[in-house]
Structure 1
Amino acid sequence: MNRSKSAINVSPVRIELDPIFHAVEDGVCIDWLVDTQGLHAQLRSSSQRLAELRLQNSETTSELQLLLADSEHTLPFRLLARSLEWLWWQAGTPRQLQLSEALRRLFAVPKGWCDDDGLIDCSDFFQQPLLWYFGDNGGGKPLSWVENDKGLRHPQRRPLPNGLLYQRYLPNLDTVLSFRKLDPALDLDRFCHWMQQSRVAEFWELAKPREELARYLDTVLADAHLQPVVGCFDDEPFGYFELYWALEDRIGPHYDAAPFDRGAHLLVGESRFLGRQYGVAWLNGISHFLFLDDARTMRLVGEPRADNSKLLKYLTMTSWHKVKEFDFPHKRAALVTCERERFFQETEFT
């Protein structure tokens, strides 16, 4: 299922007299506006006013208050969640928001989204899969252990579902970043084109005929520890991400691998999506997806070539960091890692 920006119903507008954020869920719309007292929101269904909210700011915490409610029914919780995401896009919004008791009742805030007093932290909010995750795991599948053909015991890995896996609007780029599972029927020609590019072949060493690359993708799809994914900006494919479970991967013996550590081999195939802004966006995006895809994943890892200076530079602009260099038989590699706690504490989801 692919969704364009218009389908997401997100339209931040930079005109002070008009709504600066507008969203719609289940026939209910919310408009955030600015007045002399700050930010407030109006919720309507057709022409009926349902509720008004106001954001009250302090130095460390903001409180989202319900000013009035003309509805006897609960309002769509997704609408509140999308408002919270937008509030954290705004510069200066504290990382903690207090949701008033009346507001929590009106939107039927699910258990686990905030503490008993209604306090919700930005780092906890972005670990909730509701708005962005379209996979089918989220750490909810039962744990069972199997042994691979090398005698290594590891959790049983389930294949990614077909189609859309992750989608999020990026306000700084005014674009929608998404990831979907690779489909050879749709993506083989594009994959071949990308692999023939000299800047890609330098690192991937897969500038091979179409038939060989088709067999390569068949092998990846058949390997339970590998998951091929295509990244898109506004539904336009830009890159290939070969996700892996680190314990069973070649990187596993080179550090203290945990059962749910995850990583990715990656390439940007479309040159117009090269550069710092896009690079940081997809690095944060694929990291976000991997953490959402299994709540038991506490660490992400990578092993780019040690001389891949551009990628290593982008990593320094994110919550990833370089641990060490080591040798594979085919390359000198850099071990890079990203810890869940650090990612959600440091990442700006803009």
Structure 2
Amino acid sequence: MTFTFRPLDPLKDAELVHSWVTHPKAAFWMMQDAKLQDVERAYREIAADEHHEALLGLDGDEPVFLMERYDPAHRELAGLYQARPGDVGMHFLTPPADAPVHGFTRAVITAVMGHLFEDPAVRRVVVEPDVRNTAVHALNAAVGFVPEREIDKPEKRALLSFCTREQFEKAVRA
């Protein structure tokens, strides 16, 4: 599967993204009770933030997943770990599917990581999924992430994990 990326339009894409983030499958996205205007507001704030961006992953012209890229020294993890030059934070969300495609989510995280590492300044990707989200821990491991430790964030207990460019390349070659 080959995906392309485009910036999320907070107004144009809000209805689609709202349907994704409020679905029970997206419980770890922590927007289950969000109204459409809450999603619009959240993504307008991200669009205006120099340290955070939201992108849609496309299959052809069809949006099929959401990713966020952020600067962990300024957002999400600020003060919770020692950020290094070249660190980038990432979130991704695959929507529910009526007919799940085997390997789709792994293809998505592989594409997301590849997209992040297209930027030569990115040396390491940082993630902080909920400690209970074992499905995403397995996906993260499959693309080279190594857990460092559990951390307490205001909204969750998270598993701080890192993946260098070399770890990613080795994992996807295997």
Name the residue aligned to 2:106. Answer: 280
Name the residue aligned to 2:50. Answer: 224
Matching of residue 183 in structure 1 with residue 2 in structure 2? no
Which SS does the other structure have where 2:57 is aligned? strand
Identity of aligned residues (%): 27
Which SS does the other structure have where 1:249 is aligned? coil
Name the residue aligned to 1:163. Answer: none
**In structure 2, do the counterparts of structure 1 residues 177 and 272 end up closer, same or farther at CA, with 3 Å as the change threshold?**
farther
Name the residue aligned to 2:76. Answer: 250
Which SS does the other structure have where 1:255 is aligned? coil
Question: Match for 1:341 among 158, 166, 171?
Answer: 166
Matching of residue 210 in structure 1 with residue 36 in structure 2? yes
Pairwise CA distance, 1:339: 0.6
**In structure 2, do the counterparts of structure 1 residues 345 and 196 end up closer, same or farther at CA, with 3 Å as the change threshold?**
closer
Pairwise CA distance, 1:197: 0.7
Which SS does the other structure have where 1:176 is aligned? coil
Name the residue aligned to 2:93. Answer: 267
Which SS does the other structure have where 2:173 is aligned? coil
Distance 1:325 1:274 in 2: 31
Question: What is the 5 A alignment of 1:83-94?
Answer: none
Question: Match for 2:130 among 281, 297, 305?
Answer: 305
Larger Rg: 1
Range that drifts further, 188-197 or 337-346? 337-346
Name the residue aligned to 1:101. Answer: none
Pairwise CA distance, 1:214: 1.2
Q: Any conservation in 1 of the 2:51–2:75 contact (CA below 8 Å)?
A: yes
Q: What TM-score, normalized to structure 2?
A: 0.89
Aligned residue identity for 1:233: D
Aligned residue identity for 1:312: H
Pairwise CA distance, 1:274: 5.5
Pairwise CA distance, 1:348: 2.9
Matching of residue 315 in structure 1 with residue 143 in structure 2? no
After superposing on structure 2, the runs of 4+ consecutive aligned residues of structure 1 that deviate more than 4 Å are 272-276
**In structure 2, do the counterparts of structure 1 residues 273 and 308 end up closer, same or farther at CA, with 3 Å as the change threshold?**
farther
Name the residue aligned to 1:233. Answer: 59
Structure with bigger helix share is 2
Pairwise CA distance, 1:244: 0.4
Which runs of 5 or more residues in structure 1 are unaligned? 1-174
Question: What is the 5 A alignment of 1:100-249?
Answer: 175-200=1-26, 202-206=27-31, 207-249=33-75
Which SS does the other structure have where 1:247 is aligned? coil
Question: What is the 5 A alignment of 1:4-15?
Answer: none
Superposed CA deviations along residues 80-135 of structure 1, whole A, max 9, x for unmatched, are xxxxxxxxxxxxxxxxxxxxxxxxxxxxxxxxxxxxxxxxxxxxxxxxxxxxxxxx
Distance 2:99 2:75 in 1: 29
Distance 2:148 2:136 in 1: 15
Equivalenced residue count is 173
Q: Any conservation in 1 of the 2:6–2:56 contact (CA below 8 Å)?
A: yes
**In structure 2, do the counterparts of structure 1 residues 301 and 345 end up closer, same or farther at CA, with 3 Å as the change threshold?**
same
Aligned residue identity for 2:165: R
Superposed CA deviations along residues 265-310 of structure 1, whole A, max 9, x for unmatched, are 22111325857611221111111111112x1211100000000011
Distance 1:185 1:288 in 2: 27
Distance 1:289 1:247 in 2: 20
Pairwise CA distance, 1:213: 1.6
